[in-house]
Amino acid sequence: MMADSSEHRGKCEISLAVNGRAKTVRVYPMERLLDVLRHEIGLTGTKEGCGEGECGSCSILMNGELVNSCLIPAIQAAGSNLTTIEGLAEGPQLSALQAAFLECGGAQCGICTPGMILASYHLLNKKPKPTLDDIREGLAGNLCRCTGYMQIFDAVAEAARRRNPA
């Protein structure tokens, strides 16, 4: 839910780092971090699917941990380091995961894709050489209605190979 811009009472200032850049925003303490990202910071790559932490479309990394940004109050994110989908590519160069999702058919309609890629990124950071079961388990909090997940598994395995060539 977006904040009421006409009413600044109750708002507070928080500072955080988003994709390595320092940001200071005035927000309601209990505003959803998802809305802060999308409306205050203007990063609309993070998507809302269910608004109750079930679908994982709004997944981001907060201090390296995978979180559903629809469940995080803004005040809890003060001082934290966030990574969103906009932070993965280096300029025009897609990250290994993004390229693999594109090539392997891991993205169809694309709405779950940012969250799915962040969850995959988190998985590969923890397990650089995941088994198929690791991938299934690691992505079980992110729903995709289009792909049946098979090509997402292919993409994550392919990205792992590229990041860690034999």
Partner 1 sequence: MTAEHIIGKSVPRKEGRDKVTGAAQYIDDMTLPGMLYGATVRSQIPRGVIKKISFDPQVDWSEFVIVTAKDIPGKNCIALIGDDQPCLADGKVNHPEEPILLLAHADPHLLRKAVNAISIEYEPLPAIFSIEESERCSQVIWGTDNTFKAFLIAKGDVDSVWATADYIVEGEYTTGAQEQLYIENNGVIAAFDAAQGVTVWGSLQCPYYVHKALMALCNLPEDKVRVVQMETGGAFGGKEDYPSIIAGHATLLAMKSGRPVKIIYDRLEDMTATTKRHPSRTRHRTAVSKDGKILGGEIEFTIDGGAYATLSSVVLSRGTIHAGGPYYWPNVRIRGKAVATNAPPHGAFRGFGAPQSLFAMERHMDRIAQAVALSPVEIRRRNFLKPGETTTTEQIIREEIDLGKLLDRALELSDYSAKKTRFAQANETSPIKKGMGIATFLHGAGFTGSGERYLASVVGVEGCADGTVRVLVSSTEFGQGTNTVLCQIAAEALDLPYEDVQIAQPDTNRVPNSGPTVASRTAMVVGNLVRSAAVGIKQTLIADGMLRSSYSPEEFRAACQRHIAEHGQLRSLARYDPPAGVFWDDQKYRGEAYAAFAWAVYIAEVAVDLSTYSAKVEDFVALQEVGRVLHPILAKGQIAGGVAQGIGFALYEKIVWQNGRMQNGQMTNYIMPTSADLPQIRVFFEEMGNIHGAYGAKGIGELPMDGPAPAIVNAVEDALGTRFDSIPLLPEDIFETLSEAVSADREP
* Residue 6 interacting with partner 1 (CB under 8 A): yes
Binders in 105-134 for partner 1, by CB under 8 A: 105-114, 117
Total residues contacting partner 1 by CB under 8 A comes to: 61
Min. distance of Cβ 11 from partner 1 in angstroms? Answer: 13
Contacting partner 1 (CB under 8 A), which of 18, 33, 41, 46?
46
Q: Which is nearer to partner 1, 81 or 108 (CB)?
A: 108
Min. distance of Cβ 124 from partner 1 in angstroms? Answer: 15
Which whole-number Å values give the CA distances from 141 to 18, 32, 66, 144, in the listed order? 23, 19, 10, 10
* Residue 77 interacting with partner 1 (CB under 8 A): no
Tokens 């079980």 identify what position? Answer: 140
Residues 6+ apart with CB under 8 A from 9: none
**Do 155 and 97 touch, CB atoms closer than 8 A?**
yes
Contact segment (CB under 8 A) with partner 1 among 10-18, 81-89, 123-131, 157-165 equals: 81-89
Identify the CA nearest to 124 among candidates 63, 66, 49: 66
Return d(Cα 13, Cα 28) in angstroms, integer.
Answer: 9
Identify the CA nearest to 118 among candidates 92, 95, 134: 95
Which residues of the shown chain bind partner 1 in the complex (CB under 8 A)? 1-6, 38, 43-52, 54-55, 57, 84-86, 88-89, 94, 98-99, 101-114, 117, 135-137, 139-153
